[in-house]
Chain A
Amino acid sequence: MAIIRVENLVKSYNGKEAVRGVSFDVKEGETFGFLGPNGAGKTTTINILCTLLMPDSGYAFVDGYDCITQPHRVRSSIGLVFQEITLDNELTAYENLKFHCYMYNMGKRVTEERIDEMLETVGLSDRREDLVKTFSGGMKRRLELARGLIHRPKVLFLDEPTLGLDPQTRSSVWDFIMKLKEKEGNTVFMTTHYMEEAEVCDRIAIIDGGHIIACARPDDLKRTIRGDTIYVRTTDDDRAQKEIEEKFRIKVRKVEPGLALLVEGGEKFIPRLFEALSTGIVAVNLKKPTLEDVFIHLTGKHIRDTGNTGN
């Protein structure tokens, strides 16, 4: 069953189209990634789904409710973690969570139980009574994750949840996201422009220039890139290049240092390479295609270089 359904969504700001006819479905329980460079239309789409923006045309449904005509119903079904921190620095961790629970009309006893439970899950029980302004970036993110899920939403929206965090904190935040998802059983809809983070998704939609240009499982997307890259260094690269090109009829590129060749089934090719070469082999390296390669393949550009920062 589709918990999110989007059909032909269009939204423009000041005559510039940010989202141009986007359609997709997200199944219940899925982790769905929305990938694209800055300015591709990710945040606009998420804001429409969260009822913060009205689309110019098209439809969006979350948990069976219409984002346009039933915004209050949709809001009860979703939890959010935005790009920027939206905690109150002058309140404690406990007070921020309590504020949230009361806004979602939760009872006093349930509120207390859930606060204890969620703080425990994100490892902030001992910071419960501390003001949020004393927290590190990673701790704030964890508290926001706890807050986003405390009212047991069906869908958790994460808009660039690790933006501005250092690599170590980023990976710990992802651990918490996955741990929470496992425990709460919610659907996750996330945007990111860190390609490697999208690996955790069950399915990925790649968006560029307001269009979805691909939507599939990460492994299937990677399979669209035909082949792996093998880097090889030999005692005589010129001779090795000639031998490989003659025996396997594939194009060999010279890289510094050594050679690079694009083949299908790289693991199986390496032993054959060893047999075929008369030169000594110094080093071999196999590189599987990444989502970054997929993105370059589909759009012809690197995800970090494209677009501007307009969100």
Chain B
Amino acid sequence: MFSYKAIYVIVLREFKRFFRQRGRLVVTILRPLLWLFIVGAGFTRIVQSSGGIDYIQFILPGIVGMTILFSSIFSTISVVWDREFGFMREMLVSPVSRVTIVMGKLLSGTSLSVFQGTALLAVAPAVGIRIDPERILYMMVFMTLVSFAITAFGLLVASFLTSLEGFNVIMNFIVLPMFFLSGALYPVGSLPDPLRWIAYVNPLCYGVDSFKHVLLPVEGVFGAEFPLYVDIIMVSIFFVSMTALSAFNFERRK
């Protein structure tokens, strides 16, 4: 049984949990600001600006990407969490289909990520990047697409994890490399060969690139590296395949 009501209540639950976990809320707000104003400000002094763009401005799209990456992956950990604390069983014995549960988790992860990403855009003027309704709209469209892709990927990973310890491994060996090889802190075109190939299969790389199209519409090393349609196609392919795999994986009964 596919149920919109079930999806609604799964999303509602994740939002309630998000706003009730104070620690998570504080980390969520502070982490991107630390990166932007400490790492960004530090490197701005030693990295030459290009095409009228300072380093601190260059990393804003990447920091938005990071926020989405961490938020999406962290929201999928709730699947592992639910499994460890038994709540997953409450969902699995209900009459709604597994696909409904996957969709609910996908939508809640995505909407939380887009919500955080959009909130972060409020600091754009502080680093000298112009923000207007049109840019916000485009950003929200691309952020939604990227969030879907990464949440779907996270759900697939989470479906294999049986404990919260496994999540730390994932954090360090998947999430951080995904961030570092996304073009967030340096253009992927400047990476040495094997690393660049990895970057080319990293969905976040295309996601960050699409944000650069909106926020840094300039030529040169600090601008976007791929055509926008490539970004959209690559992220979409990733999203569809990951969603299909995680839905399939959830549907299995042992």
List residues of B whose CB falls within 8 A of some A CB: 1, 3, 5-6, 8-9, 13, 16-17, 20-21, 85-87, 89-97, 253-254
Contact = CB atoms under 8 A, between A and B. Distances in A.
A52 B93 contact: yes
Contact of B92 (A52, A54, A73, A99): A52
A104 B253 contact: no
Nearest to B7: A102
A86 B87 contact: yes
Contact of B97 (A50, A72, A86, A104): A72
Given A51-B253, A87-B87, A102-B9, A72 B95 contact: yes
Contacts of B89: 52, 80, 82, 86
A103 B90 CA distance: 9
Contacts, number: 74
Interface of A: 50-54, 71-73, 75-76, 78, 80, 82, 84-91, 95, 98-100, 102-105
- Nearest first, the 9 A-B pairs at minimum CB distance are A86-B86, A102-B9, A103-B94, A75-B95, A76-B95, A86-B90, A84-B86, A102-B5, A90-B17
B91 A85 contact: no
Contact of B9 (A50, A72, A73, A99): A99
Contacts of A72: 1, 95, 97
A78 B93 contact: yes
Given A90-B17, A99-B90, A103-B95, 12 more contacts: A50-B93, A54-B254, A72-B95, A88-B87, A99-B9, A99-B13, A102-B5, A102-B8, A103-B6, A103-B94, A105-B1, A105-B95
Contact of B3 (A51, A54, A95, A105): A105
Nearest to A71: B253
A103 B91 contact: yes
B96 A54 contact: no
A54 B253 contact: yes
Contacts of B6: 102-103, 105
A84 B87 CA distance: 10
A19 B229 CA distance: 56
A80 B93 contact: yes
A88 B88 CA distance: 10
Given A75-B93, A86-B86, A103-B94, A98 B9 contact: yes
Nearest to B5: A102
Nearest to A89: B85
A103 B9 contact: yes
A310 to B, nearest CB: 16
B98 to A, nearest CB: 10
A91 B13 contact: yes
B15 to A, nearest CB: 11
B234 to A, nearest CB: 35
A75 B16 contact: no
A6 to B, nearest CB: 18
Contacts of A54: 253-254
A88 B91 CA distance: 11
A75 B21 CA distance: 32
Contacts of A86: 85-87, 89-90
A86 B88 CA distance: 8
B86 A90 contact: no
